[in-house]
């Protein structure tokens, strides 16, 4: 595994303190291991009980299957954008949502970096071709919001392109909703210590090491830059037509359950069982940028 990632120790500012973090050291630093679950103002001290989670998630997945039958019967189009920092749990949340849906009508879109041709097109163009047709549920594992986060932070777009995007995207999304697409925008929020722990887990797990890239290591030292871009993105693109749903995701189990609940409670599908779905945990899920303050 030592050949997979070049060793690199970095100096980080974590919770106001200078820390040295070497991702190649098999031992996670005590300061990260101790504070990870409550980092980023997470409201719980422990993860949700595994048995309770498995029972709850299965019941919600049954409701998702019912929802999909309704979508196909009524020709509904649903699209969900999953955004968040690296290691926030986007992929796992998508997997839990899609696990028992008919894959012919539930697609995941995770686009690579744009080609030369795509870079010369309208920025949204390569995403539009993946939008749902009648009866489809499309989940974007990262989306056009790359231009509001990773691209400006890492220098992959110009300042003018960044500003132009923030101006265009509310109008773009208003058109989608006006055309009848149900659009969900999820921001999965994690604390800094939790991100460090998850990166470390990936680095030292032979089944997960492929998830870690040099870009992830570079992002470790840009936490504040990403925070600044996140806050502006949420402020300028949280609209009545396309609101941001914020999920505190240090505990992946609570995050997935509340995310799926939000989808189910937002769509009035045939046979919806509100008792089975349950109530949103207001400590975990909220709307708009003020939820993170």
What per-residue confidence (pLDDT) applies to 6?
54
What per-residue confidence (pLDDT) applies to 94?
98
**Residue 3 pLDDT more than 50?**
no
In a domain, 120, yes or no: yes
Strands 181-189 and 77-84: parallel
In a domain, 4, yes or no: no
In a domain, 9, yes or no: no
Q: Which residues contact 268 (CB under 8 A, 6 or more apart)?
A: none
Tokens standing for residue 287: 């709307």
In a domain, 24, yes or no: no
In a domain, 147, yes or no: yes
CATH number of the domain encompassing residue 157: 3.40.50.300
**pLDDT bracket for residue 7 (50, 70, 90):** low
Tokens standing for residue 195: 């991100």
- Rounded to an integer, the average pLDDT of 144-161 is 97
**Residue 259 pLDDT more than 90?**
yes
**Residue 2 pLDDT more than 60?**
no
Q: What is the pTM of this model?
A: 0.95
Q: What radius of gyration, in Å, describes the C-alpha atoms of the chain?
A: 19
**88-118 confidence digits (pLDDT tens):** 999 999 999 999 999 999 999 999 999 999 9
What is the rounded average pLDDT for all residues in the chain?
95
**238-257 confidence digits (pLDDT tens):** 999 999 999 999 999 999 99
Can you give the residue range of the structural domain that contains 282? 49-194+222-292
In a domain, 226, yes or no: yes
- Rounded to an integer, the average pLDDT of 70-83 is 98
Number of domains making up the chain: 1
The region of weakest confidence among 144-148, 152-156, 213-217, 284-288 is: 213-217
What per-residue confidence (pLDDT) applies to 213?
86
What per-residue confidence (pLDDT) applies to 88?
97
**Residue 1 pLDDT more than 70?**
no
Strand partners, 102: none
In a domain, 141, yes or no: yes
Q: What percentage of the chain reaches a pLDDT higher than 90? A: 91
In a domain, 66, yes or no: yes
**64-75 confidence digits (pLDDT tens):** 999 999 999 999
**Residue 235 pLDDT more than 70?**
yes
- In order, the DSSP letters of 210-271 are GG--HHHHHHHTTHHHHHHHHHHHHHHH--SSSPEEEEE-SSHHHHHHHHHHHHHHHS--TT
Closest to 82 (Cα-Cα) out of 100, 99, 95: 95
What per-residue confidence (pLDDT) applies to 8?
73
**173-231 confidence digits (pLDDT tens):** 999 999 999 999 999 999 999 999 999 999 999 999 999 988 888 889 999 999 999 99
**pLDDT bracket for residue 5 (50, 70, 90):** very low
């Amino acid at each position: 595994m030592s050949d997979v990632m070049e060793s690199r120790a970095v100096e980080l500012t974590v919770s106001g303190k200078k820390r040295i973090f070497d991702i190649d050291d098999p031992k996670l630093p005590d300061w990260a291991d101790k504070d990870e679950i409550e980092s980023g103002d997470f409201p719980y001290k422990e993860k949700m009980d595994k048995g309770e989670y498995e029972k709850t998630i299965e019941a919600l997945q049954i409701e998702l299957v019912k929802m999909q039958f309704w979508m196909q019967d009524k020709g509904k189009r649903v699209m969900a954008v999953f955004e968040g920092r690296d290691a926030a749990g986007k992929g796992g949340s998508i997997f839990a949502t899609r696990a028992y849906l008919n894959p012919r009508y539930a697609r995941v879109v995770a686009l690579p970096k744009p080609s030369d041709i795509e870079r010369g097109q309208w920025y949204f163009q390569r995403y539009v071709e993946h939008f749902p047709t009648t009866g489809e549920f499309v989940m974007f594992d990262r989306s056009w919001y790359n231009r509001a986060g990773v691209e400006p932070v890492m220098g992959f777009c110009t300042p003018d392109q960044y500003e132009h995007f923030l101006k265009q995207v509310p109008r773009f999304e208003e058109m989608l909703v006006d055309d009848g697409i149900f659009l969900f925008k999820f921001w999965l929020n994690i604390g800094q210590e939790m991100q460090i722990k998850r990166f470390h887990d990936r680095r030292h797990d032979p089944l997960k090491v492929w998830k870690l890239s040099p870009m992830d290591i570079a992002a470790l030292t840009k936490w504040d830059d990403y925070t600044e871009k996140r806050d502006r993105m949420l402020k300028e693109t949280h609209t009545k037509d396309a609101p941001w749903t914020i999920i505190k995701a240090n505990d992946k189990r609570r995050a997935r359950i509340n995310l799926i609940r939000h989808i189910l409670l937002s769509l009035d599908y045939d046979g919806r069982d509100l008792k089975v779905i349950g109530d949103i945990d207001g400590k975990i899920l909220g709307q708009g940028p003020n939820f993170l303050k």
